[in-house]
Amino acid sequence: MGSFPAILRSEWTKIRSVRSTVWTLLLSFLVTAALGALLSLLTKNNFADFRKGATTPFDATATSFSGIMLGEIAMIVFGVLAIGNEYSSGMIRVSLAAVPQRGTLLTGKAVVIGALSLLVSLVTAFVTFFLGQALLGDHRTTLGADNVLRAVLGAAVYLTLICLFSAGVTAMLHNQTLALGVLVPFFFLLSPILSAVPKVKNVAHYFPDFAGRQMLTVYQDPSVPYGWLAGFFICAAWTLAALLGGALVLKRRDA
């Protein structure tokens, strides 16, 4: 077995050699920043209408991150492709032959995926924030305001955790098409639908996407029973469970 640094270099080479994975990271940046900028401009131009009857403070930071759901889709796809490409191509057998310790192999994959997604997410978060604030005009805020820097960093952490969660689910399912077929409905159909149903919406509060998005807000939503820190731990717990599940399946199932 090669050393762990050698495993990391190998995983980095695999990811950067596949164009689709690189493009999904770029797409995450572009759609998050572009849609956030558009909605920030619309908010500025229609501020009185948007805030009519509002009883909560205006969250300029959250407004600049209005497009993060589209960026989230791209991060989910990146996490799925980064793991699933090896299964679809059959290269996973070569990887396992080179690194028989399957837990170590998946750890290396998770480290590289996490580092890349965090780097892109940090750039995305700060560019999106500054662009959105510039377009909000007099309604903007600054990084020095209470909880703003934490929310911007929270956006980057959220995207990274969602990406790693998706990678873990793909490792469990061993199939990128099946993984996308599970993740996309879970995040963009099941979670929003349950959040809108009064009798079960409390269940959706503990889903990884809902909990993770609490890290992006400057002001806590009074209808949510926890704050940003608990939201981080809930989202992180889902991510850790997915990665551990992926490691368990990888150890017990043939590639």
* Distance from chain centroid for Cα 85: 19
At 90 the pLDDT is 76
From 197, 194, 199, 204, select the one nearest 224 (Cα to Cα): 204
From 77, 68, 59, 244, select the one nearest 168 (Cα to Cα): 244
CA atoms of 106 and 5, how far apart (whole Å) = 13
Of the ranges 21-25, 48-52, 60-64, which is most confident?
60-64
CA atoms of 242 and 224, how far apart (whole Å) = 24
For 184, phi and psi rounded to 5 degrees?
A: -65, -50
**pLDDT, tens digit (0-9, with 9 covering 90-100), for 161-171:** 999 999 999 99
CA atoms of 215 and 151, how far apart (whole Å) = 6
In the predicted model, is pLDDT for residue 126 greater than 60? yes
Q: Could you tell me the CA-to-CA distances from 184 to 106, 169, 191, 231, 239 in Å, in that order?
A: 23, 12, 10, 21, 16
- Averaged pLDDT score across all residues of the chain: 90
In the predicted model, is pLDDT for residue 255 greater than 60? no
**pLDDT, tens digit (0-9, with 9 covering 90-100), for 36-48:** 999 999 999 998 8
Residues 166-201: b if buried by 16+ CB within 10 A, e if exposed = bbbbbbbbbebeebbebbeeebeeebeebbeeeeee
Domain with 106 in it: 4-48+55-252
**pLDDT band (50, 70, 90) for residue 72:** very high
At 38 the pLDDT is 96
Number of structural domains (the chain) is: 1
Torsion of CA 65, 67, 69, 74, to 10 degrees: -110
At 51 the pLDDT is 82
